Amino acid sequence: MMTPSVPQLPLEAYRRLLDIARDLAATLDLESLLHRIVTAAAELSDAEAASILLYDPQRKILHFQTATNLSGALQETMQVPLEGSLAGLALRRRRPVRRQHAHTDPDHYGHLDKLTHIATESLIAVPLIANGEPIGVLEAVNKRSGAFSDADEEILTVLGAQAAVAIQNARLFLQADLIAELVHEVRTPLGAILAATQLLRFPQISEAQRRQAIDAIEREARYLNELTTTFLDLAALESGRARFHRERFAVAPLVDEVLQLFAAEIEAAGLTVETAIPHDLPPLEADRGKIKQVLINLVSNAIKYNRPGGKIRVAAYRENGHLVVTVSDTGVGIAPEHLKHLFEKFYRVPGSAQRATGSGLGLYICKRIVEAHHGHIRVHSKPGEGTTFIVDLPLTP
């Protein structure tokens, strides 16, 4: 006796696999593609949940990239070890692993079941192979009725191959894109450094010219140094390699720490700084280092685009279960037509290059970080009067 759904399954599977294959070449939106792959994996194999885990060779762990049943916040913190997990076993063996009673298997990593509140019964895990190297695992857990079959393994293997191609494509594309941009950004400061060193070779230059050349070399080298860090951060964020480590911390000392970093610059520009942070402000639960990075860019912008003798104000307050941090300046301001582009990658308001060095990546990175914390970043500005950036973060994730 056949159940009514059986004859339709291969056709449906075939159609879904073709659909995904068609999009594979066309889409660059890795996240939505991977999400469709795990959804198809769960539905076609009749599993309770499916997920894609990516391998981090440095830390010898697999971390969740996409899953049908996990919230973003939970997913970010979940990982399984390479040794001592069935997903790890599939990756190490480079072969699918299928279990009917995973929880009794010595290789099963039981810790996750507690976090997800799913008791893993049956499991099937296939390795994702790109260029002959295992890069991750596609797994489906808890077949709704019966046991995972050869057909399920076949379907997951095909979906896994598609996921591997998608991940590989996205990584290559990102690399090429970022390398092109980095080369472009690096040219101008390198040119300035070369010009200054050539000038220093002339014995007859004045002391003032000599000092200027050395200052230029130092300034541009510092900028190149910052630029490399920015690009590494960006590459990590965009490839999904950036991991967020949540901790509880007070905002006021963090703001002081950031302002301290800029103390010399603030003094040199004759700027005054004011902070308004209440003593009873609740602590934030977030990645402290990444939130610091957001504040560093906002304060650096408030300095770079201020007027001599201007003001900077950093305030924080609580509002409906959110923590709001604002950074305001009395600078040049931003005209309305530029506001909507401000958070785009590499966007700089025309004329900014004459005012200050920058790559136009800072606000884009801020937005990525704030949104990874389920928060928002906004801006208000009046040309000629000043600008305020408003970061809004949920107090509990």
Ligand X SMILES: Nc1ncnc2c1ncn2[C@@H]1O[C@H](COP(=O)(O)OP(=O)(O)OP(=O)(O)O)[C@@H](O)[C@H]1O
Q: Which residue is nearest to Mg ion (CB)?
A: 362
Q: How far apart are the C-alpha atoms of 109 and 86, rounded to whole Å?
A: 7
Q: Pattern of binders to Mg ion over 288-307, x per CB under 5 A? A: ---------x---x------
Residue 331 interacting with ligand X (CB under 6 A): yes
Task: Give the three-class secondary structure for 49.
Answer: strand
Residue 330 interacting with ligand X (CB under 6 A): no
**Backbone dihedral region of 16: left (phi > 0), alpha (psi from -120 to 50 degrees) or beta?**
alpha
Q: Binder to ligand X among 348, 367, 368, 373 (CB under 6 A)?
A: 348
β-strand pairing of 272-276 with 311-319: parallel
Q: Which does 230 bind (CB under 5 to 8 A by kind): Mg ion, ligand X, none?
A: ligand X
Contact call for residues 251 and 277 (beta carbons, < 8 A):
yes
Query: How near is the Cβ of 331 to Mg ion at its closest, in Å?
Result: 12
- Which residues from 270-309 bind ligand X, rule CB under 6 A? 297, 301-302, 305
- Kind and range of the H or E run holding 277: none
Given the complex with ligand X, which of 215 and 344 has the nearer CB atom? 344
Residue 326 interacting with ligand X (CB under 6 A): no
- Which residues from 4-23 bind Mg ion, rule CB under 5 A? none
Query: How near is the Cβ of 323 to ligand X at its closest, in Å?
Result: 21
Counting other chains too, the contacts that 96-104 makes at CB distance below 8 Å and 24 or more residues apart are: 96/124, 96/125, 96/126, 96/127, 96/153, 96/156, 96/157, 97/123, 97/124, 97/125, 98/123, 98/124, 98/125, 98/148, 98/153, 99/123, 99/124, 100/147, 100/148, 102/141
Interface with ligand X: number of residues (CB under 6 A) = 22
Residue 41 interacting with ligand X (CB under 6 A): no
- Which residues from 350-369 bind Mg ion, rule CB under 5 A? 362
Query: How near is the Cβ of 306 to ligand X at its closest, in Å?
Result: 7
Site residues, Mg ion (CB under 5 A): 297, 301, 362
Site residues, ligand X (CB under 6 A): 230, 297, 301-302, 305, 329, 331-332, 334, 342, 347-349, 352, 358-364, 387
